[in-house]
């Protein structure tokens, strides 16, 4: 049976429909989850989509982390539930403490939307298993507050533990060490600033390179179920 | 803190009081009403209006809301409407609706937010986007995408970067936060827009036929629900005269007249409204835009059975000190009004609550013929709604052809007046000069600030194409022709994607209608657009008029921005400008004449504006569209020819792809200069595999369109143009040099 992957809708989520479409294209069943509910509906993984949760009038993601559904996600993620946070979802993961560091205003102070070249740095995560290490992909970046920052010690730790998931080729926003995405110690939680869900076919995206994020988690979950 | 509601202390101007105090002096002139208009209100009511009624009439009878100067001309769009089965809802509703087949409909409209964007560029532009999105939503559609047509002053003027950065940030900040991709538009610089920038925003949405909703309040006993943002003091501008007249010195202070947007609230409003539509809970719906509650209540009632009772004191307020007149006039953003059957009200309130949207029942539909507004227990408005919403004043303003136009039209860009390049090298330099000019350079600085990736959706397989175009200089040379050329260009833009153009929306930006020469320009542009739409078979489904775009006595160029909507039955068959492969043939379709007046070459190289604009040829435009549509399986890429002509189209193809082009004009009649810089209409460059050249050219011949084999796509990284005077070679890096840097330079 296809794995069930939850996509949470917060008020102000924008890419939730696209994320659900990408989940289905990756071979899983998309389960729409509502921020105010508390039932994870036995999903096997969760995607936190992009957008402006609660308007992002405070720090991006700072309010979303208090959503009732996020309390469930945070607990389950600590138990090993695979979670992918895209853009605003990445910001929520950092605010929730599931990933280290923070995302700040782009260094050029403008929102930026462009087709971004990204290098996949590791395939040892639940969401990148189907990539090869060093693979160059093109997926859209679109953010106003996408600059990844952390203290030197954290950055060194991420690098030495092979937890930088993807890095920019041509940094769009001033992210430290060109970081586009990172993972947690267990390699189940991934936050990524560019949008793989908008690159699952060449008709609606610049490439189909993003699809492998969604097939990866299906492979990981399926292998997990077999063993 | 004093918690006593201030309203309790107010001296309310009731209907009863108005009846017994006919001689009270009222500030009608300060509200923009003319003496005869005020008298007409008194005649309609048989008494003097209350201050609340005066507020409603004055704002609803304003030029912006009543179209009083333009109405007599706009009627042509109906009178000359082409026969079409595609139009499901026409002019007069929030937006027109077009059938695209298989039970799907598309609604689209362009609207101006010019004056607010000059005063406060960020909020002016942001709320412009917000307003047009609510118009589309109010038709029952899910908004799918936005576009914007922007015009700014001279690129070198000190104030221009302020306006550009504010407007672009406002369009992006609002649209990005709504999750609506920005799919294109225009950004034009010209000194005529210095004190009058134009911000025209378009939204397109889609729905099933059965989901179309209209703005009408019918069904006695149905409830009137106001939902969305609370009502504040923003955008009430002129009504402060009423406040100062009616209230004592402790009344509210003067308030800003530009509204402030909250895109997050708008996003909630969209989702919450779409859920109400999906559950079929809404009998009628109207967005609150210009004129706020005055407009929404009077239009809903007027379009319905006529009777509505509103309890104004129930309106949730952001500022408890607002007077009833101010509440009626407030243009606070992100509000909607729905008419709901009592059986469904509980569900509607539940949906609003789920989305954290404030909703309040503020009234009900009655079997009376009047719109009645109460403030607590006092009746403060008692009017026939039609007299407010639809039967406002209509002016047939005097107009005449400007005296200066003959001189301008006879000032053709002749070889004496505008010397032409004499050598291939000279032409090469001028191509680079054009590419680096403000109106032809790369817009990436601007477009990269807009989200264009969201709402990927392929469930229907159908696709739509929309284009927004205008060249104000053509309008300045001949407004009739200028309007048709805007239509022609937008139609062509849609056609080169392989889509079938179906319908038109327009935003008519002009100077003061009180100037007979401006009024003539307006009348001519409307006549030209109506005639053109009739000939192309694409009806005008709705739009907007923006007048008074002038500083002192200097009006902007007549700027009729035209949006054309087209449909593709299978979006996978669309043509882009990226599909060509090396060795593909390059074909120019269409006839090229010596037409430079009003074009980019004359503007950039000579700063010249004179002569007669390119000749309109809508028959050829239709033929071009049909050839491209019928051969879209053979055409690997296409680019329409418009601003800057063939020189710019060829350069863009090389700039935006990773191949080169090798072309010559051996197969054409005109000289290289004319071929490169003329802006003749109904032309496109297409590429195709060499074995399909004959088929495409034969199809052109069949419909009477000339075509020329220009050359081939190469694996090189340069554009090569062979002329009688030598070869022009331009590498991609050379082409990009000025083209990619100009916009940032303007902004610095």
Instruction: State pLDDT tens for residues A16-66.
Output: 999 999 999 999 999 999 999 999 999 999 999 999 999 988 889 999 999
Q: Does B453 touch chain A (CB under 8 A)?
A: yes
DSSP line for A139-171? EEEEESS-EEE--HHHHHHHHHTT-EEEEESS-
- Alpha-carbon distance A61 to A63, whole Å? 6
ipTM at complex level? 0.90
Query: What does the pLDDT look like over A112-130, one tens digit per residue?
Result: 999 999 999 999 999 999 9
Which chain B residue has its CA at the smallest distance from A106's CA? B449
Domain assignment present for B572: no
pLDDT tens profile B32-51: 899 999 999 999 999 999 99
Task: With beta carbons under 8 A apart, name residues in chain B contacting A15.
Answer: 179, 454
Q: Are B53 and B45 in contact (CB under 8 A)?
A: yes
Give the closest-approach CA distance of A159 to chain B in angstroms. 30
User: Is residue A82 classed exposed, middle or buried when 0-12, 13-18 and 19+ CB atoms within 10 A define those classes?
Assistant: buried
Q: Which residues of A participate in catalysis according to the annotation?
A: 87, 195, 197
Whether B243 has a pLDDT exceeding 60, the answer reads no
Contact A112 B449 (CB under 8 A): yes
**A208 has a chain B CB within 8 A of its CB:** no
DSSP bridge partners of A140 = A115
The answer to whether the Cβ–Cβ distance between A112 and B448 falls below 8 Å is yes
Domain encompassing residue B48: 13-69+211-389
Asked if the C-beta of B346 comes within 8 angstroms of chain A's C-beta atoms, the answer is no
At B584 the pLDDT is 98
**Is residue B141 scored above 70 in pLDDT?**
yes
The minimal CB distance from A18 to the residues B354, B450, B454 is found for B454
Nearest C-alpha of chain B: how many angstroms from A172?
11
Tell me the residue length of chain A: 227
- Whole-angstrom CA distances from B354 to A18, A76, B202 are 22, 25, 29
Mean pLDDT of chain B: 92
The answer to whether the CB atoms of B453 and A11 lie below 8 A apart is no
Q: What is the CATH number of the domain that holds B224?
A: 3.90.650.10
Is B315 within the bounds of a domain?
yes
Contact B95, B503 (CB under 8 A): no
Give Cα B736 distance to the centre of its chain: 31
Nearest Cα to B274, choosing from B333, B363, B213?
A: B213
Task: Decide if B457 touches A, using CB distance below 8 A.
Answer: yes
**Is residue B239 included in any domain, yes or no?**
yes
Flag whether residue B513 sits within 8 Å of chain A, measured between CB atoms: no
Give the strand pairing for B660-664 and B718-723: parallel
CB B418 within 8 A of CB B609: no
pLDDT band at B464 (very low <50, low <70, confident <90, very high): confident
Closest-approach residue (CA) in chain B for A37: B354
- Determine the Cα angle at B184 with ends B554 and B85, to 5°: 95
CATH topology of domain A4-226: Rossmann fold (3.40.50)
Q: Kind of pairing, strands B87-89 and B378-383?
A: unpaired
pLDDT tens for A189-224 read 999 999 999 999 988 888 999 999 999 999 999 876
Mind listing the pLDDT tens digit for each residue in B338-347?
Answer: 999 999 999 9
Tell me what the mean pLDDT of segment B466-486 comes to: 97
pLDDT (0 to 100) of residue B4: 41
CA dihedral B487, B489, B494, B497 (to 10 degrees): 170
B613 lies within 8 A of chain A by CB: no
Specify the residue for token string 């069930």.
A4
Domain coordinates in residue numbering, chain A: 4-226
DSSP classification of residue B611: S
User: For residue B515, what is the DSSP state?
Assistant: S
B305 in helix, strand or coil?
A: coil
Q: Give the per-residue pLDDT at A88.
A: 96
Question: Where are any strands of DSSP class E within B547-640?
Answer: 550-551, 554-555, 559-568, 585-589, 635-640
Q: Is B104 within the bounds of a domain?
A: no
Distance from A64 to chain B by nearest Cα, in Å? Answer: 14
Does the beta carbon of B165 lie under 8 angstroms from any beta carbon of chain A?
no
Look at residue B176 and give its three-state secondary structure: helix
* Residue B642, token pair as written in the block: 């418009």
Residue B237: pLDDT band by 50, 70, 90 thresholds?
Answer: low
Residue B159: pLDDT over 90: yes
Residue B298 φ/ψ, nearest 5 degrees: -70, -35
Rounded to the nearest angstrom, the minimum Cα separation between A59 and chain B is 15
pLDDT digits (tens, 9 = 90+) for A114-172: 999 999 999 999 999 999 999 999 999 999 999 999 999 999 999 999 999 999 999 99
- Residue A13, phi then psi, degrees to nearest 5: -65, 140
Per DSSP, helices labelled H in chain A are 16-25, 68-78, 88-96, 152-160, 211-226
Collapse the DSSP code of A175 into the 3-class scheme (helix H, G, I; strand E, B; otherwise coil) and give the result. Answer: coil
Q: How many CB atoms lie within 10 A of CB B684?
A: 24
B456 in contact with chain A, both atoms CB, cutoff 8 A:
yes
Average pLDDT over residues B652-662: 97
- Which among A11, A113, A201 has the least Cβ separation from residue B356? A11
Contact residues, chain A, for B177 at CB < 8 Å? 12, 14, 52, 55-56
First to last CA, chain B: 48
- pLDDT for position A197: 96
Residues 247-276 of B with CB under 8 A from A: 262-265, 267-268
Q: Tokens 């609370």 appear where?
A: B230
Q: How far is B268 from chain A (nearest CA, A)?
A: 7
pLDDT interval class at B236 (50, 70, 90): confident
Q: Is B105 inside a domain boundary? A: no
Residues 6+ apart with CB under 8 A from A216: A123, A125, A126, A127, A128, A129, A130, A131
**What value, to the nearest 5°, has the Cα angle with vertex B491 and ends B490 and B493?**
60
Provide the pLDDT for residue A225.
57
pLDDT tens profile B554-574:
899 999 999 999 998 888 889
Interchain CB distance below 8 Å, A52 and B267 = yes
Do B447 and A113 count as a contact with CB atoms less than 8 A apart? yes
| Contact with chain B for residue A51, Cβ under 8 A | yes
A11 and B267: CB-CB below 8 Å?
yes
**Cβ(B472)–Cβ(B556) under 8 Å?**
yes
Lookup result for tokens 């100037």:
B515
| pLDDT value of residue B83 | 84
State the pLDDT at residue B5: 43
How many angstroms separate the CA atoms of A205 and A109, rounded?
25
Res. B460 pLDDT band, cuts 50 70 90 = low
The answer, for A204 touching chain B at a CB cutoff of 8 Å, is yes
Measure in Å the smallest separation between the Cα of A142 and chain B Cα atoms.
Answer: 6
Q: Chain A: residue nearest B445 by CA?
A: A112
CA distance B336 to B57: 21
Residue B448: band (very low, low, confident or very high) from pLDDT cuts 50, 70, 90: confident
The whole-angstrom distance between A18's CA and the closest CA on chain B is: 6
Among all residues of chain B, which has the CA nearest to that of A144?
B449
B115 in a domain, yes or no? no
A-interface mutation test, from B265, B333, B456, B498, most A Cβ less than 10 A away = B456
Min mean pLDDT across A158-167, B265-274, B445-454, B462-471 is at B445-454
- Does residue A227 carry a pLDDT above 70? no
Nearest Cβ partner for B452 among A56, A113, A201: A113
Q: What distance in Å separates the CA atoms of residue B111 and residue B138, rounded to the nearest whole number? A: 15
Q: What is the mean pLDDT of residues B360-386?
A: 96
CA separation (Å) from A21 to A26, A29, B66?
9, 10, 45
Is A201 close to B571, i.e. CB distance below 8 A? no
Task: With beta carbons less than 8 A apart as the criterion, state whether B562 and B468 touch.
Answer: yes
Q: Measured between alpha carbons, how far is B634 from B445 in angstroms, rounded to an integer? A: 34
A55 touches chain B (CB under 8 A): yes
SS3 B260: coil
Phi, psi of B252 (to 5 degrees): -65, 150
The confidence band for B87, taking pLDDT boundaries of 50, 70 and 90, is confident
Q: In chain A, which among 79-98 make CB contacts under 8 A with chain B? A: none
Centroid of chain to Cα A104: 16
For the cut 90, the answer to whether the pLDDT of residue A176 exceeds it is yes
Q: Which residues in chain A have Cβ-Cβ distances shorter than 8 Å to B264?
A: 11-12, 52, 54-57
* Axis-axis angle for helices B732-747, B160-178 (nearest 10): 100
pLDDT at B738 over 70: yes
> What part of A 25-44 touches B (C-beta under 8 Å)?
36
Buried b (16+ CB within 10 A) or exposed e, A188-219: bbbbbbbbbbbbbbeebbbbbbbbbbbbbbbb
Which residue from A11, A17, A56 is facing B268, i.e. has the nearest CB?
A11
Q: Quick check: A58 contacting B, CB < 8 Å?
A: no
Query: Which residue of A21, A36, A114 is in closest CB contact with B456?
Result: A21
pLDDT tier at B244 (50, 70, 90 boundaries)?
Answer: very low
Q: Are B714 and B582 in contact (CB under 8 A)?
A: yes
Search chain B and give the residue with CA nearest A204.
B456
Give buried/exposed letters for B137-157 (b at 16+ CB in 10 A, else e). bbbbbbbbbbbbbbbbbbbee
Interface test with chain B among A56, A67, A108, A111, by most B beta carbons within 10 Å = A111
**Nearest CA-CA partner of B184 in B450, B510, B518:** B450
pLDDT of residue B260: 83
Residue A203 pairs in a beta bridge with none
Calculate the alpha carbon distances from B89 to B212, B213, B464, B611, B706 in Å: 9, 10, 18, 40, 38
The pLDDT of residue B697 is above 50: yes
pLDDT class for B250, splitting at 50, 70, 90?
very low
Any residues with CB less than 8 A from the CB of B578 and at least 6 apart, and which? B637, B656, B657
Residues B383, B56 contacting (CB under 8 angstroms): yes
Residue B8 has pLDDT above 50, yes or no: no
């Amino acid at each position: 049976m296809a794995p069930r992957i939850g996509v949470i809708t917060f008020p102000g989520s924008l890419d939730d429909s696209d994320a659900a479409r990408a989940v289905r294209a990756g071979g899983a069943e998309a389960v729409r989850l509502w921020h105010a509910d508390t039932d994870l509906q036995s999903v096997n993984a969760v995607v936190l989509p992009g957008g402006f949760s609660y308007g992002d009038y405070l720090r991006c993601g700072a309010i979303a982390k208090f959503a009732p559904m996020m309390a469930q996600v945070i607990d389950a993620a600590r138990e090993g539930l695979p979670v992918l946070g895209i853009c605003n979802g990445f910001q929520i993961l950092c605010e929730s403490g599931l990933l280290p560091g923070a995302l700040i205003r782009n260094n050029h102070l403008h929102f930026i939307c462009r087709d971004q070249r990204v290098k996949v740095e590791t395939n040892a995560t639940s969401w990148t298993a189907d990539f090869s290490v060093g693979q160059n992909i093109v997926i859209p970046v679109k953010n106003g507050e996408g600059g990844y920052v952390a203290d030197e010690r954290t950055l060194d730790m991420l690098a030495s533990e092979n937890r930088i998931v993807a890095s920019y080729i041509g940094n769009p926003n001033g992210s430290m060490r060109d970081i586009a995405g990172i993972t947690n110690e267990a390699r189940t939680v991934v936050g990524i600033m560019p949008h793989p869900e908008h690159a699952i076919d060449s008709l609606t995206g610049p490439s189909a390179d993003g699809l492998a994020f969604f097939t990866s988690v299906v492979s990981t979950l399926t292998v997990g179920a077999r063993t | 803190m004093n918690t006593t509601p201030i309203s309790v202390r107010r001296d309310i101007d009731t209907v009863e009081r108005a009846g017994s105090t006919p001689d009270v002096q009222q500030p009608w002139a300060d509200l923009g009403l003319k003496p005869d208009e005020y008298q007409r209100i008194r005649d309609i009511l048989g008494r003097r209006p209350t201050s609340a009624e005066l507020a409603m009439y004055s704002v609803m009878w304003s030029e912006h809301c009543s179209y009083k100067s333009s109405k007599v001309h706009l009627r042509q769009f109906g009178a000359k409407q082409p026969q079409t089965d595609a139009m499901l809802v026409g002019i007069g509703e929030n937006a027109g609706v077009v059938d695209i087949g298989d039970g799907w409909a598309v609604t689209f409209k362009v609207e101006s937010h010019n004056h607010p964007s000059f005063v406060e560029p960020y909020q002016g532009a942001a709320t412009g986007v917000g307003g047009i999105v609510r118009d589309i939503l109010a038709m029952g559609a899910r908004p799918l995408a936005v576009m914007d047509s922007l015009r700014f002053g001279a690129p070198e003027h000190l104030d221009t970067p302020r306006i550009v950065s504010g407007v672009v940030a406002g369009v992006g900040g609002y649209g990005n936060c709504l999750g609506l991709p920005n799919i294109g538009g225009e950004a034009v610089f010209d000194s005529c827009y210095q004190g009058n920038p134009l911000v025209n925003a378009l939204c397109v949405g889609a729905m099933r036929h059965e989901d179309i909703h209209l703005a009408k309040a019918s069904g006695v006993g149905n409830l009137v629900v106001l939902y969305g943002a609370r009502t504040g003091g923003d955008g009430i501008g002129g009504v402060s005269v009423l406040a100062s007249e009616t209230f004592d010195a402790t009344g509210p202070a003067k308030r800003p007249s530009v509204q402030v947007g909250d895109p997050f609230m708008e996003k909630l409003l969209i989702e919450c409204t779409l859920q109400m539509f999906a559950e079929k809970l809404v009998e009628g719906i109207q967005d609150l835009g210009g004129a706020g509650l005055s407009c929404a209540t009077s239009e809903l009632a007027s379009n319905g059975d006529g009777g509505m009772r509103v309890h104004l004191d129930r309106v949730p307020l952001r500022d408890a000190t607002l007077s009833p007149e101010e509440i009626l006039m407030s243009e606070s953003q992100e509000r909607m009004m729905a008419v709901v059957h009592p059986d469904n009200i509980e569900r509607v309130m539940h949906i609003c609550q789920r989305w954290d949207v404030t909703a309040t029942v503020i009234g009900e539909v009655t079997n009376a013929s009047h719109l009645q507004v109460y403030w607590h227990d006092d009746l403060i408005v008692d009017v026939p709604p039609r007299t407010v919403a639809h039967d406002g004043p209509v002016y047939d303003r005097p107009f005449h052809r400007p005296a200066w136009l003959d001189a301008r039209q006879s000032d053709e860009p002749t070889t004496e007046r505008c010397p032409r390049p004499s050598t291939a090298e000279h032409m090469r330099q001028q191509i680079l000069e054009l590419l680096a000019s403000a109106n032809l350079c790369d817009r990436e600085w601007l477009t990269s600030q807009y989200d264009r990736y969201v709402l990927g959706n392929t469930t229907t397989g159908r696709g739509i194409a929309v284009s927004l175009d205008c060249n104000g200089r053509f309008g300045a040379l001949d407004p009739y022709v200028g309007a048709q050329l805007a239509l022609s260009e937008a139609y062509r833009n849609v056609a080169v994607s392989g889509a079938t153009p179906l319908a038109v929306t327009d935003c008519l930006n002009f100077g003061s209608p009180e100037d007979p020469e401006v009024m003539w320009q307006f009348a001519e542009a409307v006549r030209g657009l109506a005639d053109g739409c009739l000939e192309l078979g694409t009806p005008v489904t709705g739009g907007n008029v923006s007048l008074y775009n002038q500083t002192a006595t200097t009006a902007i160029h007549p700027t009729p921005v035209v949006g054309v909507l087209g449909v593709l039955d299978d979006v996978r068959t669309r043509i882009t400008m990226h599909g060509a492969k090396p060795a593909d043939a390059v074909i120019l379709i269409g006839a090229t004449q010596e037409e430079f007046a009003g074009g980019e070459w004359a503007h950039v190289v000579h700063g010249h504006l004179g002569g007669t604009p390119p000749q309109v040829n809508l028959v050829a435009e239709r033929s071009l569209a049909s050839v491209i549509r019928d051969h879209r399986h053979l055409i690997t890429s296409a680019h329409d020819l418009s601003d800057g002509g063939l020189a710019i189209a060829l350069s863009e193809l090389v700039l935006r792809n990773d191949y080169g082009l090798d072309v010559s004009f051996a197969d054409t009649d005109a000289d290289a200069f004319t071929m490169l810089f003329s802006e003749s209409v109904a032309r496109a460059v297409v590429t195709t595999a060499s074995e399909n050249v004959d088929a495409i050219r034969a199809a052109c011949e069949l419909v009477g369109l000339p075509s020329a084999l220009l050359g081939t796509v190469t694996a090189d990284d340069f554009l090569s143009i062979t002329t009688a005077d030598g070869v022009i070679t331009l590498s991609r890096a050379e082409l990009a040099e000025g083209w990619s840097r100009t916009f940032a330079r303007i902004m610095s």
